[in-house]
Amino acid sequence: MKVLITGGAGFIGSHLAEAMSAIGAEVHILDNLSTGTADRIPAKAVFHQGDIANSSDVTRVMALRPDFVFHLAAQTDVRRSLLDPVSDADINIIGTINVLQASRQSGVKKIIFSSSCAVYGDTGSNTIDEGSAAKPISFYGISKLASEHYIQAFHDLYGLPYTILRYANVYGPGQKTNGEAGVVSVFLQRIKNHLPLIIYGNGEQTRDFLYVEDVVKANLLSLFKGNNQIIQLGTSVRTSIEQLAGCLQELHGDEVRILHEAEKPGEIRHSCLDYTYARSSLGWEPSCPIRSGLKMTYDDVMGD
């Protein structure tokens, strides 16, 4: 089995590349290293430096005719999307179209797309399922939703199979301090550097934190299940930012100062994803409780 992972030098992509290499797949990675790093690429994977926003880079790698494409490369920073919506659209929308065009021309069997709970916008305190209305409140969420529509259209028009995975807030070892779900890594880096934690707003905002290895398992299952479906991945557990800070302080042992600043525009106040459909369509459910995942992530950051 030959697979291409766009964004394979990044946080989730590198974990996925490791897992695919471990099961004997021929793994190719396309990444421009704007946020990913070459040292995260598994030894057995073949690295191709290039940008999904550049169609010739994508066409060059697709000439290898992979069986499956995991499309993870993206601009994932909500705040950056608000500052530079053109760049966000260029990477997330145009980049996705380039991957779709080349996948279709190369006879790819299936594309597995990493989407986001940001497509839903602010749903209040309700637990989200796949039938919930998609009303994104950031340009990042809009670009992810638009990419989903293009993927579905390529299936309807050209028969390109897909699975769309909408992630909750993914965290774990190797995560950078920027990006959509970077609050765990941001907090840990500040603790490591003896800096106070900064909470935007009152800290009562809630997130559904999903450990990276659980995300990898869902991607592997999507190779042969969940065809032409949108499936969300979460834990159905709400954790407030204040609670998250408390958990990390507990792990650290020493006192950590917490400062509050004004809320940032485009940020969702509450997000919690039901995984019932993932269980029935993929046979997937989350296996890592947040305290266990935070402990592994804490140990990784502090051990650097």
- Bridge-based pairing state of the strands 110-116 and 162-167: parallel
CB atoms within 10 A of CB 200: 15
Annotated catalytic residue: which of 140, 167, 171, 211? 140
On whether the CB atoms of residues 79 and 58 are closer than 8 A, the answer is: no
Kindly list the strands in the beta sheet with 46-49, ordered across the sheet, starting from the edge strand earlier in the chain: 46-49, 26-31, 2-6, 68-71, 110-116, 162-167, 229-233
pLDDT digits (tens, 9 = 90+) for 64-121: 999 999 999 999 888 889 999 999 999 999 999 999 999 999 999 999 999 999 999 9
Model pTM?
Answer: 0.94
DSSP summary character for residue 201: S
Q: Which 3 state secondary structure label does DSSP give 229?
A: strand
Average pLDDT, the chain: 95
Highest mean pLDDT out of 225-229, 246-250, 266-270: 225-229
Which residues have CB under 8 Å from 48's CB, separation 6+?
28, 29, 30, 31, 57, 60, 61
Q: Under CATH, what is the fold of the domain 2-168+212-233?
A: Rossmann fold (3.40.50)
pLDDT digits (tens, 9 = 90+) for 6-31: 999 999 999 999 999 999 999 999 99
On whether the CB atoms of residues 285 and 279 are closer than 8 A, the answer is: yes
Average pLDDT over residues 224-241: 98
- Residue 179 is predicted with a pLDDT of 54
Q: Under CATH, what is the fold of the domain 170-207+237-271+288-303?
A: UDP-galactose 4-epimerase; domain 1 (3.90.25)
The domain locations on the chain are 2-168+212-233, 170-207+237-271+288-303
- Residue 182 is predicted with a pLDDT of 82
- Residue 125 is predicted with a pLDDT of 72
- Residue 178 is predicted with a pLDDT of 58
Cα–Cα distance for residue pair 270/206, rounded to 1 Å: 5
Is residue 167 among the annotated active site residues? no
CB atoms within 10 A of CB 116: 28
Query: Does the pLDDT value for residue 142 go beyond 60?
Result: yes
